[in-house]
């Protein structure tokens, strides 16, 4: 290894390895690099092969491109720049150390099984080279190994898990962004962002561009809009896909453009009236508003924590059910049914609307995610792994921990899972959560002329109603690919037989 090249002040450079922490505020690795005292060299390394089989899908890669562009602009504002390289990670970091004389490398931790193994090997190798290495928690309120039940084991049910988390000391106060980053005398060479080939070669991302504004500033603006417009009614409206009732922060959180700690303290300050600078004020409830920690939205942040808790302690679950008896479940193999589901052609409007929203925008409302997932695994009896893989490739917020938790919950094979006899009725779910049909009429415009009474059940509409709506089933919109009533009975029999065995 080459000797360190010192600056005039005698301090060697430090590398900051950015990953899913694409922000300047509340970034412990960046702060540590600044405190190291010398030049700070921000680095992003694209090495998708090292995360196989869960390398990012197309929609996530589109978001990553925009987020890296935003981060690079923010770094330029601090007199710095983002060095882009392609993997392999260890060899790339070692090359950068040799090129720059860096004596320290800092990064923020991730919790996916393949990434943990890679990061551990990288850390050990760099330390053998004489490089100081340190990693930090920037993605979670509480790291997975710090939360245990009374038996010293991981939690498998959400409610006691989150109750236990809320009894812990408050997470650290978010860190401010640095005002300036010391630049090295000479910057190492990097790739142009386009060279990472994250954006699609065929322009299918127009819907994502209309729906989203990636980046740290956009993340905080979105949180502000949510708190001003929707948080007060979140408990009532979060299940309504026809309303703007959710935060839409999931992709921002996944890419680390905003941290859960920032959300925690924003809720404490703006909802609970707490002063984040006061430890006592942070922890006590507000007499006026009650305990701000009971916020339903904060509970959803808790589900994100729970997902990472489970993935860390049960690393096999992205591919295998947590409940091993489900290894024997008689899932179907039917490419035609799977394609109809993927393409939004099932004949059930709430399902088709969700799948079309997903394909167009890279996102789907959470209630609709549960409906389409239930339809795949219980109406069609197709494996939850098929759905998880499709979501992984099409979601901009595709997160291995949350994707795994959600699909195993719906299939009944995971932690805190939905009981096997819970089969979502796609017609009644549509009528309940999209009562005026605004959501369906947006994503299935061929149904727009149907009266509300028949909008969620076109397959049952009388011929004269269909004629007045200029709708021919099988031509303009598909007939139902299965009968929900029959499919439900078949699913219940299959799940019950598994339970009996």
- Write down the domain spans for the chain: 14-138, 324-500
Active-site residue, selected from the candidate residues 51, 331, 431, 446: 331
Determine which one of 407, 409, 443, 454 is catalytic: 407
Q: Which helix (H) or strand (E) holds 17?
A: strand 14-18
Selecting among 51, 199, 300, 446, the annotated active-site residue is 300
Could you give the percent of the chain with pLDDT greater than 70? 94
- Please give the Cα distance from 263 to 268 (Å, whole number): 8
Query: Which residue in 137, 199, 366, 431 is the catalytic one?
Result: 366
Instruction: Please state the length of the chain.
Output: 501
Query: pLDDT tier at 111 (50, 70, 90 boundaries)?
Result: very high
Q: Return d(Cα 115, Cα 143) in angstroms, integer.
A: 15
| Entry pTM | 0.94
Catalytic annotation, pick one of 134, 143, 187, 303: 303
Q: DSSP secondary-structure letter at 95? A: H
Give catalytic status of residue 17 as yes or no: no
Active-site entry in 264, 384, 409, 454: 384
CATH code that applies to domain 324-500 = 1.10.579.10
Active site residue 212: no
- Among residues 18, 10, 181, the alpha carbon closest in space to that of 101 is found at 10
- Whole-angstrom distance, CA of residue 463 vs CA of residue 444: 19
pLDDT confidence tier of residue 10, bands split at 50, 70 and 90: low
pLDDT cut 90: percent of the chain above it: 88
pLDDT digits (tens, 9 = 90+) for 14-33: 999 999 999 999 999 999 99
Assign domain 14-138 to a CATH class: alpha beta
- Our answer to whether residue 300 is catalytic in this structure is yes
How high is the mean pLDDT of the chain? 93
* The pLDDT of residue 418 is above 80: no
Q: Is the pLDDT of residue 501 over 60?
A: no
366 catalytic per annotation: yes
Predicted confidence (pLDDT) per residue in 47-86, tens digit: 999 998 999 999 999 999 999 999 999 999 999 999 999 9
User: In this structure, how many other beta carbons lie within 10 angstroms of the beta carbon of residue 29?
Assistant: 24
**pLDDT average, residue stretch 247-266:** 97
Cβ(123)–Cβ(89) below 8 Å: no
Active site residue 303: yes
Decide if 401 contacts 260 (C-beta within 8 A). no
Q: For the residues of 201-269, what is the DSSP string, one character each?
A: SS---HHHHHH---SHHHHHHHHHHHHHHTGGGHHHHTT-TTS--S---HHHHHTTSS-HHHHHHHHHH
Please compute the mean of the pLDDT values over residues 88-92 and round it to a whole number.
Answer: 98
Tell me: the pLDDT tens digits for 344-359?
Answer: 999 999 999 999 999 9
Q: Closest Cα to residue 13, out of 91, 98, 129, 103?
A: 103
| Position 139 pLDDT exceeds 80 | yes
Confidence grade of residue 497 (pLDDT, cut at 50, 70, 90): confident
């Amino acid at each position: 290894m080459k000797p360190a090249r010192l600056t005039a002040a005698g301090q060697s450079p430090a590398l900051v390895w950015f990953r899913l922490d694409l922000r300047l505020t509340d970034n412990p690795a960046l702060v540590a690099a600044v405190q190291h005292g010398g030049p700070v060299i921000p680095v992003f390394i694209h090495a998708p092969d090292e995360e196989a089989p869960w390398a990012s899908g197309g929609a996530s890669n589109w978001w990553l491109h925009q987020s890296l562009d935003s981060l690079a602009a923010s770094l330029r504002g601090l007199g710095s720049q983002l060095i882009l390289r392609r993997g392999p990670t260890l060899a790339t970091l070692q090359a950068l150390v040799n090129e720059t004389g860096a004596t320290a490398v800092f990064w923020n931790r991730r919790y996916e099984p393949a990434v943990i193994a890679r990061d551990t090997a990288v850390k050990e190798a760099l330390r053998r080279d004489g490089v100081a290495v340190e990693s930090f928690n920037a993605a979670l309120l509480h790291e997975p190994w710090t939360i245990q039940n009374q038996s010293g084991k991981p939690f498998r049910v959400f409610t006691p898990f989150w109750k236990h988390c809320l009894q812990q000391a408050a997470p650290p106060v978010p860190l401010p962004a640095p005002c300036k980053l010391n630049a090295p005398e000479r910057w190492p060479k990097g790739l142009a962002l386009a060279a990472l080939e994250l954006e699609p070669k065929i322009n299918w991302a127009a819907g994502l561009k209309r729906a989203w504004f990636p980046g740290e500033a956009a993340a905080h603006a979105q949180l502000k809009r949510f708190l001003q417009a929707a948080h007060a009614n979140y408990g009532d409206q979060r299940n309504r896909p026809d309303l703007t009732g959710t935060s839409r922060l999931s992709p921002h959180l996944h890419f680390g453009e905003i941290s859960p700690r920032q959300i925690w303290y924003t809720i404490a300050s703006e909802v609970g009236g707490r002063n984040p600078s006061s430890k006592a004020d942070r922890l006590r409830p507000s007499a006026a508003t009650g305990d701000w920690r009971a916020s339903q939205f904060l509970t959803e942040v808790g589900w994100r924590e729970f997902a990472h808790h489970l993935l860390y302690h049960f690393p096999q679950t992205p591919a295998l059910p947590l409940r091993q008896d489900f290894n024997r479940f008689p899932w179907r193999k039917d490419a035609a049914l799977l394609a109809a589901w993927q393409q939004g052609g099932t004949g059930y409007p709430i399902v088709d609307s969700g799948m079309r929203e997903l394909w167009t925008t890279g996102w789907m409302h959470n209630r609709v995610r549960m409906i389409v997932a239930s339809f795949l695994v219980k109406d069609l009896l197709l494996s939850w792994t098929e759905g998880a893989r499709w979501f992984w490739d099409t979601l901009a917020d595709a997160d291995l921990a949350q994707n795994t938790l959600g699909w195993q919950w719906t299939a009944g094979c995971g932690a805190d899972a939905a009981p096997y006899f819970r089969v979502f009725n796609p017609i009644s779910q549509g009528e309940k959560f999209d009562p005026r049909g605004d959501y369906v009429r947006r994503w299935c415009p061929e149904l727009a002329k149907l009266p509300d009474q028949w909008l969620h059940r076109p397959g049952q509409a009388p011929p004269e109603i269909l004629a007045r709506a200029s709708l021919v089933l099988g031509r303009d919109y598909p007939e139902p690919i299965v009968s929900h009533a029959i499919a439900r009975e078949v699913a219940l029999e299959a799940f019950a037989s598994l339970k009996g065995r």
